[in-house]
């Protein structure tokens, strides 16, 4: 008996299997695209002992300096407890800085340190370059169609343009 070795499939999904829901292809595409999109940032993060949640924190703080930990809890939809460890690690590695808000000393405003900004640019830059190549190859109509589909998948937590919610500016309480 002769053993023949063939090239491994690009992904472990049998494209001839049409017995499942027709939208399974869309689910597979998004799974593999996300895996490949985040591969390089995940490798860089792992070298520093960090994970994807650390990248998310850096990304959102870069986009909206002044966010507080409570804002991140709402944006990331995680508990305070789930955020505590990565938050502490980013502070410990001096990638993130936290400062009390003068009007409300209990509230913290977050910002990236210069090292945090460099790391975030490296991580997100790799992803932006992949998007730029894919959008260029697909063309502007396809890129706009992709944005429309992705907007349709969101639950309305951001604005229609994908903008992040701005941190809530709380007024100091007046003494009664």
Rounded CA-CA distance 97/90 in Å is 8
Domains delineated in the chain:
39-153 (1.10.10.10)
Q: What is the pLDDT of residues 118-142, one digit of tens each?
A: 999 999 999 999 999 999 999 999 9
Mapped onto helix, strand or coil, the DSSP state of residue 55 is helix
pTM exceeds 0.85, yes or no: no
The segments of the chain whose pLDDT lies below 50 read 1-9, 157-162, 165-174, 176
The CA distance from 150 to 160, in Å, is: 11
| Residue 149 main-chain phi, psi, to 5 deg | -65, -45
Instruction: Specify the pLDDT at position 163.
Output: 52
């Amino acid at each position: 008996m002769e053993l023949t070795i063939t090239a491994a499939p690009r992904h472990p999904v049998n494209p001839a299997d049409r017995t499942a829901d027709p939208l399974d292809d869309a689910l597979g595409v998004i799974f593999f695209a996300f895996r490949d999109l985040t591969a390089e940032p995940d490798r860089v993060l792992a070298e520093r002992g960090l994970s994807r949640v650390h990248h998310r924190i850096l990304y959102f703080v870069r986009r909206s300096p002044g966010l507080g930990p409570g804002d991140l809890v709402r944006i990331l939809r995680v508990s305070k407890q789930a955020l505590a460890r990565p938050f502490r690690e980013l502070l410990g590695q001096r990638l993130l800085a936290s400062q009390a808000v003068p009007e409300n000393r209990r509230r913290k405003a977050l910002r990236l340190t210069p090292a945090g900004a460099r790391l975030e640019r490296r991580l997100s830059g790799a992803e932006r370059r992949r998007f730029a190549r894919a959008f260029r190859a697909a063309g502007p109509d396809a890129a706009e169609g992709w944005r429309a589909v992705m907007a349709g998948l969101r639950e309305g937590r951001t604005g229609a343009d994908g903008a992040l919610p701005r941190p809530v500016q709380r007024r100091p309480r007046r003494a009664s």
